[in-house]
Amino acid sequence: MWGALLLAILGTAACSSSDINNKDAVRSAMVEYLNANKASTGLDPSAMDVKIDAVTFDRDTAHAAVAFLIKGSDQGMHMNYTLTRQGDKWGNVQKQNQTAAPHEIDSGAEQPADKGKEPLLPVVPGTSTPPGLPAGHPPLPTGTK
């Protein structure tokens, strides 16, 4: 009887050492995901700060609000992700649909009121796109930090 109790206590202690319900574990999973999917996401984690703004845990699922900021600045974007527990780490990263985004543009469909207007973010000569921004992101003025 005492042996079974001792095993139960040791088993509980062993399980708690692999607790991944924290921001650091979610951030590690996001960086691993981005490194593995640079070509498809257009995001290079070595050129940005990946920050977990908020995260909630529901059994084997984590819902995270993630900020991708250009290193050394406060410029970037925020996205929501769902991750699934895979053993002792988070994986199966899935981007969630955004319900509202400050720079969201319709999926390329031209609206009648937009005919003849300049694009919202015109390309300015002498500008460059900093590393880490997604493909197709408009360039930022040179020297912007």
Residues 37-73 have pLDDT tens digits of 988 888 888 889 999 999 999 999 999 999 999 888 8
Residue 113 has pLDDT above 70, yes or no: no
Query: Would you say domain 19-96 falls under CATH 3.10.450?
Result: yes
Both structure tokens of 132: 């880490």
Rounded to whole angstroms, the Cα distance separating 134 from 114 reads: 25
62 vs 129, higher pLDDT: 62
Looking at residue 83, what is its pLDDT?
A: 95
Among 72, 8, 70, which Cα is nearest to 45's?
Answer: 70
Residue 117 has pLDDT above 70, yes or no: no
Looking at residue 73, what is its pLDDT?
A: 87
CB contact set of 36 (below 8 Å; sequence gap of 6+): none
Angstrom CA distances, 50 to 3, 76, 78, 91, stand at 46, 10, 10, 16
Which range of 8-12, 22-26, 37-41 scores highest in mean pLDDT? It is 22-26
Rounded to whole angstroms, the Cα distance separating 88 from 49 reads: 24
58 vs 114, higher pLDDT: 58
Asked if residues 83 and 90 have their Cβ atoms less than 8 Å apart, the reply is yes
CB contact set of 104 (below 8 Å; sequence gap of 6+): 98
Q: What is the mean pLDDT of the chain?
A: 73
Rounded to whole angstroms, the Cα distance separating 108 from 114 reads: 11
Phi first, then psi, for residue 91 (nearest 5°) are -155, -160
Q: What residue type is 90 in one-letter code? A: W
Rounded to whole angstroms, the Cα distance separating 83 from 98 reads: 16
**What are the residue ranges spanned by the domains of the chain?**
19-96
Angstrom CA distances, 81 to 10, 16, 64, 120, stand at 34, 25, 5, 28
